[in-house]
Every structure is written in structure tokens, then in C-alpha cells.
Amino acid sequence: MVNSSKIALLLITSFFLAGCQQEKEDLTSYIVKVKAQQKADIEPMPVMKSYEKFAYSAAELRNPFIPTVIDIALPVEEEIKKVVDNGIRPDRTRLKEVLESYGLNELRLVGTLEQEDVWALIRAPEGVIHKVKTGDYIGQNDGQILTVSDTELTLKEIVPDVNGGYVERDASLTLIDVN
């Protein structure tokens, strides 16, 4: 019985192997077709450049991180300009007022108000109306208000001059039409 099952198994295996050998024409034709196709040329590997040794030759030069001092003699004709103190200077100890954080071109005179004094109504860029009177400061150049009228506010500013000192300059704000 063992022999007959071994023989049957051997016969079935032989039968399948013989069946695989019979129909290989399509496989053979495919192999011939692939071998007949033109092969693509593969580019050769690029040639590697040889390493070139670099010689650092700047070691003898000046160290760029050490400051150098160059003494230049001033010509005799050239005088150093001295600042003439004319007594005009901003008061740095005075507390700044609210409207001194804006330039005069940003502020608008929108009206006046008469109570005991004449007050000017100034509109700041964000739309808030501020009351100011003679003696108050506005603008970024220490502008002190001199006069307030119905149509105009005049002030005197202290601005730096070209020689490093300060000079006084007149400025004004004119009433705008609020229609």
C-alpha cells in the first residue's frame, strides 16, 4: 500500500512536469522579442576630480579682530567749530505733556473755549480732543504755546541747529473747517 501511494504520487508529479514542458512557445517568443530590442546606453560614471590641496597663505596678514589705530593729523586751516552757547536749550527736567508725543503736523486746532482763560481745542490723531492754554507744551520740539486766538494758536519751538546748539522757531496751528 505504501508503495502504491508512492507510485501514484510520483506519476502525478511526472504528469504535471511533462505538462509544463509542452506549452512554452509563447515564453520562448517573448524572450526572443526582449533580446531583439535595442538596449539603452547607460552613461558612464562621471570622472571624479582629484583633490587639490589648499594652502592658507593669509596667516601672516593682520588679524581683523584686533582694532588698528590710525592717527591722522588735522590740517592747520581746519578749525574745530565750537558750539556757541546762546542759552537756548530744552528743559530736560520738565515732565512731558500728553500732546508732546505728537508732531505738529498730526495735531489739529478744531476750536476754542472761553472760561476764565481762552482754551484751544486740539484733536490728536486718534480723534481725542485735548484742552490747552497759553504756557502749555505741544509737539515734539518743546513747543510752548504763546497765544490762543479764535482762529490760531502760536507757539515757540526749540530745535537743534547745525552747530550742535539750539535755536527758537515760531510755529502755529490754524483753525480747520470741521464741516
Per-residue pLDDT tens over the stretch 70-96: 666 666 554 555 656 777 888 888 899
Query: Strand 166-174's sheet: what is its strand order?
Result: 137-138, 143-148, 152-160, 166-174
Residue 120: name the closest of 104, 133, 107 by CA. 133
Q: Write the class of the CATH domain 98-174.
A: mainly beta
Q: How many angstroms separate the CA atoms of 106 and 138, rounded?
A: 11
What pLDDT is attached to residue 157?
A: 93
Q: How many angstroms separate the CA atoms of 124 and 99, rounded?
A: 8
Question: Which are the contacts of 23, defined by CB distance < 8 A and separation ≥ 6?
Answer: none
- Predicted TM-score (pTM) of the model is 0.52
Q: How many angstroms separate the CA atoms of 140 and 103, rounded?
A: 5
Residue 153: name the closest of 168, 175, 127, 178 by CA. 175
Least confident of 5-9, 21-25, 43-47, 66-70: 21-25
CB 17 within 8 A of CB 9: no
